[in-house]
Each structure stands twice: as C-alpha cells, then as structure tokens.
Structure 1
C-alpha cells in the first residue's frame, strides 16, 4: 500500500487491556529511534485536570481525541495510548492511514483476564485507581475482538504477551505474519487463526462480488438489503447495486438480519442501524396499511421470533434497524425509537404513537421481511423434498 505523506510521518497506537502493562511497555518503545515525539495519553492529561475521577476521565478522553485529529490534520507524527475497547480507535487508525500516515500498533495483553484483575488489585494497594472487575473482563475480550481489524489497517503490528514478562509474540504487516518466535502462546495463536479466517472469507466475498468495498468507519452511510452475515463480516447490497462489507466485530449482527433493508451509518467508529428513507405511496388507506402491518408482524414474530424467558406466552423479534415486535396471547406490539403501536388480539388499536408516514415505512419493512421469510420456508421445503426423493 502506498502513502501520500513522507515516511517520517507516523501514527503509533499502543493498545492494551487494563492491567496488561501498557505503561511498562511504552517507555521501551519511546526510546527506539523514529518513535514520534508527540505522545497522547489520556491518563497523563487527566492529572492536569480538576474535578472528580469520572469527570476528569471523560474530559481527558475528549481532549485526547481532539489532539489526535489535530495531529492528523496538521500531518504531525504522533503516538497514543488506549485500551482499544471502543471502535473509535479503529476509526483513528483508518483516518490516519487514509491521510498518508505510516501506522503501527503495539498491542499488549495477557493469556487471561484474571491476571489483569490481580494486577489492578495490586495497583489499588499501591495507591493507584481501581477498575471494576466486570469492566476489565469485558474490555479484555472486546479489545481482542478489535485486534484483527486493527492489524489489517496498520502497516505494522507488534503483538506482545505480558503474562509473565514482556515478550513480542508476533509481528504483522497489514494482517499478515512476518515474524513469529518458535515458542507460541494460545491467545496470540487464536488471533492469527482469526486473521487467516478473515482473509479467506474476504477472498470468498471478493470472488462473488469483485467490485465490493469496505465500509469506512470514520464517516459513511450505506442503504440497502443485508445479503449475508458471518462471524467476521456483514455483506450489504446497496441501492445502486454495489456491495459493501461491514465489520461484524463492531455491528454484532446475526443471521436474523439477512433480508432486512437498513441504513447503516458510521461516525468516528460508532455505528447506527435504522430504517432507511424510502419512497412511499401515501395514497394507500392507512386502515388497510395498519391491518397489513399487524398481519405481517404477527407472521414474522411467530415464525422468526424467540420466546422471552420472563413469560411463557411472549415471543419477541428484533429488527437490526431497532424495530421490535412482541406478541403475547392478548396483544401485539411494535416499537421503534421510543414509540409504540399496540393491537389487541382482534387487531383493534390500543395505542399508536406513530405518524401515518412512519406506519407506511414500518409496513414496508415488515412486508419485505415476511416475503423473505416465506422464501426461506419454500427453499427449505424444496430441500427436504429433494432429500426425501433421493
């Protein structure tokens, strides 16, 4: 990959799970030739601020984010420290790479989060700040889930294990292993296996969709039908017949999203899935539309919904766009963006917070998913018939 900026410009990200030892490894790399002089650390920024711990942390994080963007805009080499448990850090890497920076990731972790918990406890005894155990565990796993994407973006990634002592366990270039010691460790091997899986899946997607593009995490909007959802990627067919590949470690979608027509937008790594703006024939009678909406919603929730554990007779189906259908023995409810449409068992309206236009949009969504569900059922029946005829 070529860069438009001179090689001296670089962006180094130093991610580490809480308690993994990023504070220990940073000085080692800072002493290396070519390491950027500009170092952005939210913890150090927080020490200069007033107020309680929580407010200082939020303010320091915001200041650090502005500093990073300022460096990118002004073409200044920089490095920054992060837990990398939020997709905005992936967006920073992506933005820097697109701006022509040489990007490097120094990722430090341990073989299991219990080590991190013990180290944070010791840090507290030594006068340092505490972090709840559940946050340590969740951030441990989330940062590892983002590592493959970060490694694919970065020109070079150093994966370091600090379970006992700091050891470089792999060096990668844009997701490909270029150096690895003979003595291997499980969590690093799993990361490399994931990268290999992702590469094979991307190649398979490209074979079927040679003109496919990857969704930008920084700022982009994509409207269209979800074609497939896998462990690593979500594939969307856009309205202009293009194909966009989304990062599923961020979206966390499953196969129930297939067939839905959605708008997926990104801002600084944060995504939102919603009902897209679509052309609507407002001449339809709203009474007929409401009846169609109730019928299709009932069909979807009965055929694709899941039982809600809190109630034996309640089934629920969640659209990727945020629409939720709930059906009990007494009522049928459709909710979206804190609004509710509720029918009794005879389809009489009990509550309606939606405008007529919103009802028409909801109906288009449910009709599309109903047709997709019917097609899936027909395809399964054909497969069963073929199997029985053999």
Structure 2
C-alpha cells in the first residue's frame, strides 16, 4: 500500500533532508558518498542522473524528463515514511522550495550543501571533461542559463530556509569551505575575500 503523504518523522528521531546543490559540473555526485555517509549518516541518495542512466544507458540526457518524475515520486515516498534522505539539484528551479518548506513543517531538518564554480565557462569545461571520460552531457546553453540562477536561488530562496548550510568552492582538487551557517545564527566565513566577492557579485 502506498504510504500516505502526511507521514512524519518517528517520535524521538529527527529526520534529515540533505540537498547537494551547485551548477552542472560542480562535482555533486562525486562528493555525495563522503558528505552523506561520513558526515550526516544519510544513506538514501536520490539522483536523477543515475535514474536516467538506468533508463537509457547510452543516452541518459534523453531520459532526463522521465528520470525527474521518478525522482520526485521517490522523494515523496521517503518523506511520507519520515526517512532521512538526500538529493542533488542545480537549484536553478524554484520548484523545490514549497516542498522543502512542507517537509520542514513536518519535522525535517534541512541541510544545504552548495558546491560553487567560478563561472559558467568553468562549468561548461567541467562537463566537457566529464563527457570525454564517459560521463553524461548537458548542452552548454543549458549550463550557462542555470549557472546564474542557481547562485541567485541559493542566496534568495534556499539558504534562508536551511537549518544548516555550507558553501564550498569546488574548482580545485577538493572542496574548499568558504562559509557556513545555521538558521537565524551568525554566518561563519572561512575565506572572507572570495566569499565577499561572491556575495557582492550576487547583489549587483
């Protein structure tokens, strides 16, 4: 029987929702195992790209729409059961904000992890490199369109919702923490110069 959508986390146990975000090519899928298991203990990671490869191994981009629908169905199932879970997104869309708000009202803690890249061109180059080693492609115009939206939506929409958040520069060999914060608490800035540049660019 399908679990009812009104399910809540079990009494005495806080359920966690983790969103791995960032532009295409930011390394979200690569970072997921260490971030989710090593730091938060979340084992359910719903990844639309993985679903798409299962639907069409040789051309996953063609299955992206159906994979997105399957992903949303799975997220609703996990939330209805009160389980901790994670998913990745570029944050280029505002569509997840109402759903996250609803889950938080039911008792979920929302943890936002953003992997930043310095430019849309950098993101395009990262995806091209991924394709050269057998990864899935994303059209350059799509990457560029999403890039500015995802950073804007982080600051204006998703960061204010988050119970906790962390913002990393992932342009190098390993993620470098720039800033972190908790809801209604003072932001802790680890790399002031770069963080200020990013915030000022967003405010222009």
Corresponding residue for residue 90 of structure 1: 97
Task: Choose between structure 1 and 2: higher helix proportion.
Answer: 2
Q: CA deviation at 1:50?
A: 4.2
Q: Which runs of 5 or more residues in structure 2 are unaligned?
A: 1-8
Corresponding residue for residue 14 of structure 2: 8
1:44 aligns with 2:53: no
Match of 2:88 among 81, 85, 88: 81
Are the equivalent residues in 2 in contact too, given 1:41–1:64 (CA < 8 A)? yes
Corresponding residue for residue 111 of structure 1: 118
Are the equivalent residues in 1 in contact too, given 2:49–2:64 (CA < 8 A)? yes
SS at match of 2:88: strand
Match of 2:180 among 171, 182, 190: 171
Q: 1:53 to 1:156 in 2, by over 3 A?
A: same
Q: Which has the larger radius of gyration?
A: 1
> In the TM superposition, what are the counterparts of 1:1-390 in structure 2 within 5 Å?
6-50=12-56, 53-148=60-155, 149-164=157-172, 165-174=174-183, 176-186=185-195, 189-190=198-199
CA RMSD of aligned residues (A): 2.6
Are the equivalent residues in 2 in contact too, given 1:97–1:154 (CA < 8 A)? no
Q: How many residues align?
A: 193
Q: CA deviation at 1:91?
A: 2.4
Larger RCO, structure (CA 8 Å, separation 6 or more): 2
Please report the TM-score for the alignment, with normalisation by the length of structure 2: 0.83
Q: Which runs of 5 or more residues in structure 1 are unaligned?
A: 195-230, 232-390
Task: Choose between structure 1 and 2: higher strand proportion.
Answer: 1
Distance in 1 (CA, whole Å) between partners of 2:140 and 2:99 is 27
Are the equivalent residues in 2 in contact too, given 1:84–1:143 (CA < 8 A)? yes
Deviates further, 19-28 or 147-156: 19-28
Distance in 2 (CA, whole Å) between partners of 1:115 and 1:192 is 16
Distance in 2 (CA, whole Å) between partners of 1:181 and 1:141 is 23
SS at match of 2:33: helix
Q: 1:21 to 1:59 in 2, by over 3 A?
A: same
Q: 1:32 to 1:184 in 2, by over 3 A?
A: farther
Q: CA deviation at 1:159?
A: 0.6
Are the equivalent residues in 2 in contact too, given 1:161–1:169 (CA < 8 A)? yes
Distance in 2 (CA, whole Å) between partners of 1:48 and 1:91 is 28
Q: 1:180 to 1:82 in 2, by over 3 A?
A: same
